[in-house]
Amino acid sequence: MPQSKILTDTNSYLRLAHSIRPLLCIEFGDKNYCLYVLPETNSEIQKSSRLKTKFFWALEKEHCDERSQTVTVSRQQRKLIADAYSFIWDHVESELPGPSRVDAIYLAHSYVLGLPVVTDDRDMHLLAQAFDIKTQKTLDLLKLMVDSAHITLNSVTALVQYWHYNKDTPADFQIDLSRIFENQIPHP
């Protein structure tokens, strides 16, 4: 069975990769789900002093090697992605300021390749809706991992407590936690 690829944007990747190892390029579940980041995630981490400081562990060889594996894109798909990026970015500039160029690149890949994107960025969700691009939140991904027996509820509880301690909870966290996990995970 082929992989069911899922793109994970930088913020979701950084929320998960330190605790779930390995995170990327590992198949799980009946549908062979497999998470990937785009090369732009490496660039974002390398260029941002804030990210390099807060998520210093992401510069370790283990994580850099893991991020080096990305989705395969044909020459024709690259052209389609560039075209999709162009009209998505035009929409950002004229209608929805907020999403970054990297957000638009992720959504362009998702649009062309038909892959969902995991993000907690509200503006990115709004932009995706404008183009009918499927998105999930990090908590949705964690629920999929639990339902696929890839991780346990205890792992999710520990991760949620870490986010709370680190002051890095996703947007709409309290509402989504109750909705997605139906009170299986205690609120920190």
pLDDT of residue 9: 98
pLDDT of residue 32: 98
Instruction: Name the average pLDDT for the chain.
Output: 96
Phi, psi of 22, rounded to the nearest 5 degrees: -70, 155
pLDDT of residue 39: 97
Q: How many domains does the chain have?
A: 1
CATH code at 41?
Answer: 3.40.50.1010
* Mode of pairing for the β-strands spanning 33-36 and 4-8: parallel
Chain Cα centroid distance, residue 102: 12
What span, in angstroms and rounded, lies between the C-alpha atoms of 124 and 118? 10
Let me know if residue 151 belongs to a domain. no
pTM of the full predicted structure? 0.96
Residues 15-58 have pLDDT tens digits of 999 999 999 999 999 999 999 999 999 999 999 999 999 999 99
- The 3-class secondary structure across the chain, one letter per residue, is CCCEEEEECHHHHHHHCCCCCCCCCCCECCCCEEEECCHHHHHHHHHCHHHHHHCHHHHCHHHHHHHCCCCCCCHHHHHHHHHHHHHHHHHHHHCCCCCCHHHHHHHHHHHHHCCCEECCCHHHHHHHHHCCCCEECHHHHHHHHHHCCCCCHHHHHHHHHHHHHCCCCCCCHHHHHHHHHCCCCCCC
Residue 188 pLDDT exceeds 80: no
pLDDT of residue 94: 97
Mean pLDDT of 105-131: 98
pLDDT of residue 41: 97
pLDDT of residue 185: 87
Residue 132 pLDDT exceeds 90: yes
The residue segments making up the domain with residue 23 are: 4-138
